[in-house]
Amino acid sequence: MGLFRRGGKQTEGKRLNRTFGGDAGIFLFLALAGAFSILPMIYSILQAIKPLDELFIYPPRFWVRRPTGENFVMLFQLVGNLWVPFTRYLFNTLFVTICGTVGTVIIASIAAYPLAKHTFAGKKTINKTVQYALLFTSNVTGIPSFIIMAKLGFINTYWALLLPAFAGSLGLYLMVSFMDQIPNERLEAAKIDGATELQTFWHIVLPSVRAAWLTLIIFSFQGLWSITGGNFIYDEQLKMLPTALSQIAAAGIARAGVGAATALFMMVPPILMFVIVQSAVIETMSHSGLKG
């Protein structure tokens, strides 16, 4: 059993003893928590394969007795009869999602570096403003955003959706918080070795905050994938996929199953993105005590 020095005295280290009952209890608790967390996903899948009569049965039934793929077949049939091709809606959403995600990460990283690692007049004011901006939801900023986009002439363009994403305060706050934890000595050593500001940012700072920008990718992708853009986009050729699918599913009770299939379809890409980079999310949660 190891010994270590504390406060000038040698203290015998204590080893944490774990019993089988304790391990079993922890495993059981985590299993129950995991099962409870996955229930919404299971419920969405079951709703998508329920026939219409089971969707409206009373009292509601969690499990499905007669699973069917008719909801998905009807969804594909309705999608194939759209005036604007389905691929156009899909392209619009993919374009905005990918460009918005990449742009958000790049702009947030570049803007966060001086706010975290440089000293200049007004730095604290800017950081506080970014923190206060987190309090404002899209419902509050909807009218000002529309006025700004209208003045800029960006209504019915992709820019009306991309610019607000680029200016998001959450990504900037996240990147500043993580970059602030990088030791200044590491950056000073890179400069002594002859690295430029750009080289220091690219080779030292960005790899050190990998968990932050991967997590930002998840949040940005999820937000942009589900965006409808109804406040800014009125041209049918430029509408987003969620808008088109919601219009299909909103045609009365007869399409309730199609609506469930649509919800499941829209859930899959963000979940896949999360699964791919889940290790980064776990690392981010371990750094939840960030400096503001």
Structure confidence by residue, pLDDT tens digits, 168-183 = 898 999 999 989 988 8
CB 78 within 8 A of CB 258: yes
Burial status of residue 94 (CB atoms within 10 A of its CB: 0-12, 13-18, 19 or more): middle
Q: Please check whether residue 180 lies inside any domain of the structure.
A: yes
Residue 6 parent element (H or E): strand 3-6
Q: Please check whether residue 7 lies inside any domain of the structure.
A: no
Q: Please check whether residue 20 lies inside any domain of the structure.
A: yes
- pLDDT score for 4: 42
* Terminal-residue alpha carbon distance, the chain: 41
Mean pLDDT of 98-118: 93
What token pair was written down for 279?
Answer: 């290790």
Q: Please check whether residue 291 lies inside any domain of the structure.
A: no
| Residue 99 pLDDT class (50, 70, 90 cuts) | very high
- pLDDT score for 253: 76
Say how many CA atoms lie within 13 Å of 165 toward its Cβ: 28
Q: Tell me which residue range forms the domain holding 60.
A: 15-68
CB atoms within 10 A of CB 212: 27
Residue 38 sits in the same domain as residue 135: no
Helix ranges restricted to H, 70-137: 70-80, 86-117, 123-133
- pLDDT score for 9: 47
Tell me the range of 153-157, 211-215, 254-258 where mean pLDDT is highest: 153-157
Q: Please check whether residue 117 lies inside any domain of the structure.
A: yes
Calpha distance 285→290 (Å, rounded): 10
Q: Please check whether residue 1 lies inside any domain of the structure.
A: no
- Measuring CA to CA, which residue among 277, 257, 195, 285 is closest to residue 49? 257
CB 104 within 8 A of CB 222: no
- pLDDT score for 278: 76
Name the pTM for this structure. 0.80
- Measuring CA to CA, which residue among 207, 227, 235 is closest to residue 109? 207
Residue 46 sits in the same domain as residue 133: no
| pLDDT (tens digit per residue) in 136-155 | 887 888 888 899 999 999 99
- pLDDT score for 156: 92
Residue 182 sits in the same domain as residue 157: yes
Last residue of a domain, one of 68, 95, 111: 68
- pLDDT score for 79: 83
